[in-house]
Structure 1
Amino acid sequence: MPKTSAAVSPADAPGLQKTRLRKELRARRRALDAPLREREAAALCEQLMGAPEFFAARHVAAYWAAGAELSVAAALYEKLSQGARVYLPRVNASDRLDFVDAGQLDRLTPGAFGILEPEGPACDLSQIDLFVVPGLAFDRRGHRLGSGRGYYDRALAGVTHALLIGVGYDWQLIDEELPDEAHDRPMDIIATPTRWHVPDQASSLHTSKE
């Protein structure tokens, strides 16, 4: 597994480590061409759709890809075809994430940062049984490096009932340990186009394909 060139040094403050990593990882993701992104997205969706955890979920919260993020749209349409409900994030007036029933994904409108969002009331997070979470990087313990705005950290802080699947490109699963803080909620599974990684500390209820 190739490492990022921005090695994490224990001597650095966590905030500086994260800032340095975000800058490098964003640049690497922006450099990917569209055909490669499409191939990788298709492979990631196959990983998700082939996983028993994803197949069994009836209420799935995910995201609508922006920029060079990996799209999981194909997997979401598959869930809808199975009769499941799909929820997408929306930034509310308090600058926090709500998750909203996205219907058939055909009435999304541009919201915060130009990202497509659903309309309607926020759902009760207790009804969601699986979250698909994007990130700039994930380490093998399940810790996630996000965009730096803290939206997912705040939204998922109290979520203990649902399975969290972090998703990204293969190179976004890194060997270094990411700086973590007390409020961080580790992922239960990391899915990439070719990997299905379950951290050692993940619940024994979650199965591994790796």
Structure 2
Amino acid sequence: MDSDAGNRKRALRAELRERRRNLTGPERDAATAGITRNLVDLATDLSAQSIAAYLSTTAEPNTRPFLNWAHRQGIRVLLPISREDGLLDWTTGDGESETEGLYGLPEPVGGLLGPIAINDVDLIVVPAAAVDQTGMRMGWGRGYFDKTLGSMEKCPPVYAVLFDAELVDEVPREKHDQPVDGAVTPTRIVQFT
């Protein structure tokens, strides 16, 4: 890892975590409503029949209302399960049953489909700490989604979910970092490609 980029990433992540901690309940509720509306619009516009997404933590923008909507619509939703080797397995969990996975993150309960199950989805929704104006995504430092996206031969549209202030001019970049096609915030859908 480039030590300068790594140091800048750590500092930016710490700042973003603090901003997220300082959001009020009403601000989080408004953000959830906006993100859900925009994710529904995105999935509808893409006519997505299968989506790879994630179970949000309490500190992240809330993806759960969107996941519930997708299940009600009959959209197949793949959710990740972190592996110790740095890869992601996938499952079609029911969106309600979950357990604590690696690093204390919420993970779905369901039969494992393996890392290549994501190859058949129409849309990938990923978490992000920040995304810059070119579409470069900065995650939280474990590299799971960078490895997954970097290994795909034919990747469907990939959208990061974040708060409005986390769309920034530039994020520190390293060789393994993967860009996204767009970002979904409480107030807008941004396309980079």
Give the structure-1-normalised TM-score: 0.82
Q: Is the contact between residue 130 and residue 164 of structure 1 (CA under 8 Å) also seen in structure 2? A: yes
Match of 1:35 in 2: 26
Is 1:173 aligned with 2:163? Answer: no
Q: Is the contact between residue 37 and residue 68 of structure 1 (CA under 8 Å) also seen in structure 2? A: no
Flag structure 1 segments of 5+ consecutive residues without an equivalent. 1-11, 203-210
Q: Is the contact between residue 96 and residue 155 of structure 1 (CA under 8 Å) also seen in structure 2? A: yes
Match of 2:62 in 1: 71
Q: How does 1:1-210 map to 2 (within 5 A)?
A: 13-51=4-42, 56-102=47-93, 104-118=94-108, 119-123=110-114, 124-159=117-152, 160-175=154-169, 177-199=170-192, 202=193
1:42 Cα deviation (Å)?
Answer: 1.2
Q: How many equivalent residue pairs?
A: 187
CA distance in 2, matches of 1:162, 1:105: 22
CA distance in 1, matches of 2:143, 2:124: 16
CA distance in 2, matches of 1:130, 1:53: 11
Flag structure 2 segments of 5+ consecutive residues without an equivalent. none
Change (3 A) 1:134 1:54: farther
**Secondary structure of 1:20's partner?**
helix
CA distance in 2, matches of 1:32, 1:52: 27
CA distance in 2, matches of 1:85, 1:52: 12
Q: Is the contact between residue 47 and residue 193 of structure 1 (CA under 8 Å) also seen in structure 2? A: yes
Q: Radius of gyration: which is bigger? A: 1
More helix by share: 2
Match of 1:3 in 2: none
Letter in 2 for 1:59: S
Q: Is the contact between residue 59 and residue 129 of structure 1 (CA under 8 Å) also seen in structure 2? A: yes
1:64 Cα deviation (Å)?
Answer: 0.9
Q: Deviations over 1:82-109 (max 9, x none)?
A: 211111111124243222212x313222
1:52 Cα deviation (Å)?
Answer: 5.5
**Secondary structure of 2:80's partner?**
strand
Letter in 2 for 1:136: A
Q: Is the contact between residue 140 and residue 197 of structure 1 (CA under 8 Å) also seen in structure 2? A: no
Deviation beyond 6 Å, 4+ runs, structure 1? none
